[in-house]
A = this chain, B = another copy of it.
Amino acid sequence: MSQRTRIDLPTILKAATEIVDSQGLESLGLATLAQKLGIRSPSLYNHIDGLPGLRIELAIHGCDLLNSVISRAAIGKSGDNAVYALAEEYLAFARSHPGLYEAVQRVSDPQEGQWQQTARRLVETVVQVFQHYGLDDYTSIHAVRSFRSMVHGFISLERNEGFKMPISVDDSYRFLIDTFLLGLHSKMQAAQCAGELE
C-alpha cells in the first residue's frame, strides 16, 4: 500500500499560494487544493477551518511576508529614501505574489484576532518610516493613510485593468510618490514659516 501523504499547515499554505498566485484568489477551492496535495478534500479540515479559515490563514501568511519584505527594505534608510524603498518593495511584492496580495486585501472577517495583530504590524512599519519627518500626530496619520492609499490604489489599478496608455507604468508610480512627497515638504515648510511668525 502506498503511504498516506501527510500534510501540515505550512505545506497547505505553500500549495495555496501557488494556486492563487498563478490562477487568482477566486480559483482557490478545497477540491483543487486537496488534489494538488494528493489528499481528499475533507482531510483539509484537520488543519484549517474550511475555506473561510484557509482564506484568512493565507491572508495572515501573506501579510507577514509582505511586512518582512518591506521592513527589510527600509533598514538603514530614512526620509524620502525610505519612503521610496517601501513603495518599491510593496509594488514588487504585489507583482510577484498577486494572489497573495489579493488575499491580504480581502479578508472576510476583519475582526479575527490574529489577523488584526498581523495587519497592525504592517501599518506600524509604515508609521515608523514616516516618523522621521517629525510630523505632528494628526499629520502623521494623514500621511500614512495617504501613502498606503496611493500604493495600494496603484497596485490595484495596475492589476485589475492595467494602464492602457503606452507610457511607462513605473514612471507613473515614481511620479505619484514623488509628487506627494513634494507636496508634503511644501506643507511642512509652510507650517515651519507659520511657526516662526509667533
Please report A residues at the B interface, Cβ cutoff 8 Å: 26, 105-108, 110, 119-120, 138-139, 141-143, 145-146, 148-154, 156-157, 160-165, 167, 169, 171-172, 175-176, 178-184, 186-187
Q: Is the interface of A mostly helix, strand, loop or mixed?
A: helix
Supply 17 A–B pairs (Cβ within 8 Å), ascending by A. Answer: A107-B160, A138-B167, A141-B172, A142-B171, A145-B154, A145-B163, A145-B175, A146-B154, A146-B179, A148-B157, A149-B153, A149-B157, A150-B176, A176-B180, A179-B183, A180-B180, A182-B182
Q: Knowing A152-B156, A157-B149, A167-B142 are in contact, say whether A186-B182 is a contact too (CB < 8 A).
A: yes
Does A172 lie within 8 Å of B146, measured CB to CB?
Answer: yes
